[in-house]
A = this chain, B = another copy of it.
């Protein structure tokens, strides 16, 4: 009856509405300050402070002090993955927080998941990469093949800089809208920021949606999400 790690602590941390709002807000990948998160959660700054201390104590957040500001972000990709998993369960049991509106469709199509591309387009890119042999599933998670490295470099991504980081290069992440994998990890992040730098898409400032321009979407389909079937 007492074996394995203590789920209840972590789940209870996520289980409070205010804290859940904060975590969801952090899913966009940006670091947010305490007051921003307070607004996001709809509570005063005092209560936000206690919440954030608890989340930090549970190792769910990464904290950086900058001047008189305190920036919070999700601790690791694993945390984001668990949050996505919970969203999947919640969505399946029919408890959406908002009625399906127009914005919901765009969220399903393309959104940001802890700084990498998720939603339909994220999945299409992942599938295409896999089909073209850029990514292979190996014992140690996902690996970028040499062909993949070449392609990615040609797309304008500095792999050496990514390799210097300690966070894993490639990782799978499971979507809550579809139930399939998309690319996470530092490469996933780099790809999204490259897409933004190319002007193919930009993020909706008020939500997790990623909005592609017409030309951007076409270029995306031509280069990143080539059909392989």
Q: Which residues of A contact B (CB under 8 A)?
A: 1-17, 19-21, 23-25, 39-42, 58-60, 78-79, 81-83, 85-98, 103-104, 107, 123, 127, 130-131, 137-141, 176, 179-181, 207-208
Instruction: Let me know if B87 and A85 touch, CB within 8 A.
Output: no
- Tell me which residues across on chain B come within 8 A of A123, comparing CB atoms: 139
Q: How far, in angstroms, from A81 to B5 measured CA to CA in the complex?
A: 15
6 A–B contacts from the bound complex (CB under 8 Å): A3-B24, A4-B96, A4-B208, A5-B176, A8-B21, A10-B86
Query: What is the predominant secondary structure among interface residues of chain A facing chain B?
Result: helix
Task: Decide: A86 and B97 in contact? CB cutoff 8 A.
Answer: no
Contacts of A11 in B (CB 8 A): 11-15, 20, 86
A7 touches B103 (CB 8 A): no
Which of B78, B90, B131, B141 is the one whose CB lies under 8 Å from A7? B90
Among residues of B, the one whose C-beta sits closest to the C-beta of A59 is: B93
Kindly name the residue among A2, A10, A103 whose own CB sees the greatest number of chain B CB atoms within 10 A: A10
Q: How far is the CB of A69 from chain B (nearest CB, A)?
A: 20
Which of B40, B96, B139 contacts A1, CB < 8 Å? B40
User: What CA separation (Å) do A42 and B12 show in the bound complex?
Assistant: 19
* Min CB–CB distance A214 → chain B (angstroms): 24
**Given A81-B85, A82-B85, A5-B180 contact (CB < 8 Å):** no
Bound complex: CA of A9 vs CA of B139, how far in Å? Answer: 35
Query: When the two chains form their complex, are residues A180 and B139 in contact, meaning their CB atoms are under 8 A apart?
Result: yes
Q: Are A10 and B96 in contact (CB under 8 A)?
A: no
Closest to A81 in B: B85
Within the assembled complex, what's the spacing in Å between the Cα atoms of A126 and B4? Answer: 22
Q: Are B88 and A78 in contact (CB under 8 A)?
A: yes
A9 to B97, CA, bound (A): 10
Query: Could you list 10 further interchain pairs (A-B, Cβ under 8 angstroms) beyond the known A1-B25, A3-B24?
Result: A5-B88, A5-B97, A6-B90, A7-B90, A8-B21, A10-B89, A13-B15, A82-B85, A137-B181, A141-B180
A24 adjacent to B12 (CB under 8 Å): no
